[in-house]
Structure 1
């Protein structure tokens, strides 16, 4: 991703030389490009992405916010946090012999990450087959990888019309923006298709739910300059304005929005789909946590300790049973929970109940289950269970999706069903607020519109990161 930013003039020559010099001193000269996104000392010393890094880039017709997500299995929770903020995915796979196979075999990270991003609502994916220069720009190797991935993408729920493949040699800059270099001529012998930037320029921004109440799950909380506290996150619904008072859930606190930044530009308001950095006042930072949700004071998010969800069980070896201990992931929040009841198995095509009160849920099954949150294992027997801000999928798609993990493995994904309403602990009355119905696009929150520019949020993922000796 660092080389792509450089080719698009988002990294200056001074920064590039500094990263190259420092990575060489650290004995990781091939990681110089990666250091543009991997900014922490631990990431650079270990040679892997550990947290979400965010950068903005522009193509001819799109403003793209890139979320660089970890590829290592130890940092799946951080990857989930990034995927929950994305509109589309850019998957980078390693074409060198053995590396692609290691990520694509059963239990490999390529498979898991594709399933995760699709389960979180990402419908568009661009697959960049990288390091073809290390296999002599072999067309047969490129087509072999595409042939293996296509059926799996369809099986995972990606429509072929929203899936694209592109061959690249990222470290050399081949086919990122063009193929004019000497190295690119070998690829041009057999490939006449679009470049990576061409495909990013064709990504379609999804419809934004600006008429619903504000919903902003927090992905980061940090100390702001001077007074106030900084927070980041992606707006899942509605609009937020400078000077507005917002409620913080769970809890009884509220805060005032002092400033809003989008792509490092200060704006007076932001709408659904925007990745924002906001500075809040009139609140003690102790009341703000990663996973907290900001919403209007008069239209709050329901809180739940028990809820129902319709889930799809992934390719697991150990079936799910009632009473199973799991972790629930919702945006950047993960909490311990129990599958308290297996309500019914469902027909995957129609959603009709196939069998009530099943004993177990095996792989590939669609089912309705009841989930109960529980206190952390280290909190002691008298610790109370804290509720989670949740909404049904029908009310807000982004707020109504969950992932379920067990023992370090993602075992299912689900949507909160309408039955959730009967078991939620609601706080406050609901009323719909509508702001600025016209011309709302990510990165375009000023008083005038730019009709020819549309914005998307992409999630960049290097599928081979845990094993690769070179980073791009």
Structure 2
């Protein structure tokens, strides 16, 4: 097990589509629930959550609480912050990242997704919930979805704009539609069509093949159906029942496990012959090949946070986007609070999942202590980039430097007017927030052209164009061809995703 490859896996999807319940249930069935006390068996932890959730009047949330340790999240019945768990299979060690599905917390979802190699997109099959999630805002006038972008659609856009294309689509709550095969296939076809359109725009290589090979898995996370293979599910449930009875566990909890086993056997769909969720995850391509290509590029580590730890010193955290970082390596960081020029620092030590390592490679989520005469943790903020001293990342300066990107607009909020007016235009001088790497920076639109090079006053929803931006604050942005993680971005305004883009060109001293 120690030699298994690690995969950073983010769970995304519309609020209340069952992300936390489903994955918490899967961890219970696997017997791999994280226990900070390192003493309790999986059934003991699940029993505690069963009793607590019942006493709080939130009985159906007991499995969700496995992934939601914060009391505020439990009381509100939704995921607010990203949370992390680890589980193992015969093929991979998964670092499981549960990202918020509520529109108020999309920033947190972007933070979680930016650390991932692959994703589970949870889509509810319940009628009404699916339509809410998949709305594009382009529906016919008079429709309740005419001006709405659903969170399923928004999460698809954000995942792909962050370069995450190894996705398992979990079509959940199939029990609410009586495991209707045609309903499942209809959802699969709609998601596939939208995935293909987005991937082609973001210039994902082999987009059609990726969508064709994407696994769509029907599940009931509430009852634990098709999370694991059927024989494995029944065997593990039986083991939990035996252990709970032998340990003289709560009688109501034991009864609920027995009822769950009956429901699993009754509900398992006989028409479906594809993989369970666990098997679909293990069927994802190894990130190793992609990592090998990115490791040949110059070092880039977008910084997630900076802190000072007593006895350790100045520590930075982030995910290695390209290149390799080694202990003792001399690197640079930019921008800092003092300067936009690269500042030299030395990597003293590197830690991943509480273990000291000698080097960090692409996709490793790390904390690393630094030594420098010029800067400390307080001088380095989220969004800065640590890079190779021989090929440093260059900062774009406010209102001076520019970058040209091909953008896809999904929601136009560029003009003043009534919010219901869907014709608002993405226009010159509009200044949305760009999410690139770990940075969130306001950028001003300087020039817009159509894809064939003709000048235009603006872009509306579902239109594409070539846009020149200049940042309002210092930021590291690089062309997609040089560093894909710093060349793809999401465009947001007033808490809503406006569009996505890919950087074709960076020009210094343009304005």
CA distance in 1, matches of 2:28, 2:304: 27
**Runs of 4+, deviation exceeding 6 Å:** none
CA distance in 2, matches of 1:24, 1:245: 54
Q: Relative to structure 1, is the Cα distance of residues 99 and 336 closer, same or farther in structure 2, using a 3 angstrom cutoff?
A: same
CA distance in 1, matches of 2:25, 2:308: 31
CA distance in 1, matches of 2:376, 2:32: 36
CA distance in 1, matches of 2:315, 2:109: 22
Note if 1:363 corresponds to 2:450.
no
CA distance in 2, matches of 1:225, 1:44: 32
Structure that is richer in strand per residue? 1
Give the 5 Å matches for 1:34-433. 34-106=64-136, 107-157=149-199, 159=208, 160-180=211-231, 181=234, 182-185=262-265, 186-204=267-285, 205=287, 207-208=290-291, 209-224=294-309, 226-251=311-336, 253-282=343-372, 283-305=375-397, 306-316=401-411, 317=422, 318-342=424-448, 344-346=449-451, 354-374=452-472, 386-418=473-505, 420-423=506-509
The residue number in structure 2 matching 1:4 is 26
CA distance in 1, matches of 2:223, 2:182: 21
Q: Relative to structure 1, is the Cα distance of residues 138 and 171 closer, same or farther in structure 2, using a 3 angstrom cutoff?
A: same
The answer to whether the 8 A contact 2:172-2:221 is kept is yes
Larger RCO, structure (CA 8 Å, separation 6 or more): 1
CA distance in 2, matches of 1:13, 1:220: 35
Task: Give the superposition deviation at 1:424.
Answer: 8.3
CA distance in 2, matches of 1:15, 1:257: 39
Task: Give the superposition deviation at 1:402.
Answer: 1.7
Task: Give the superposition deviation at 1:315.
Answer: 2.9
Q: When the two structures are aligned, how many residues end up with a matched partner?
A: 405
Task: Give the superposition deviation at 1:119.
Answer: 2.0
> Scaled by the length of structure 2, what TM-score is found?
0.73
Any idea what the Cα deviations from partners look like across 1:424-448, whole Å, max 9, x if unmatched? 89xxxxxxxxxxxxxxxxxxxxxxx
Task: Give the superposition deviation at 1:94.
Answer: 1.8
Q: Rg larger in 1 or in 2?
A: 2
Task: Give the superposition deviation at 1:31.
Answer: 2.2
> Scaled by the length of structure 1, what TM-score is found?
0.79
The answer to whether the 8 A contact 1:81-1:331 is kept is no
Task: Give the superposition deviation at 1:110.
Answer: 0.8
- The alignment yields a C-alpha RMSD, in angstroms, of 2.4
Q: Relative to structure 1, is the Cα distance of residues 135 and 356 closer, same or farther in structure 2, using a 3 angstrom cutoff?
A: closer
The answer to whether the 8 A contact 1:309-1:414 is kept is no
Structure that is richer in helix per residue? 2
Any idea what the Cα deviations from partners look like across 1:243-280, whole Å, max 9, x if unmatched? 33432210254444343233443321111122223344
The answer to whether the 8 A contact 1:56-1:263 is kept is no
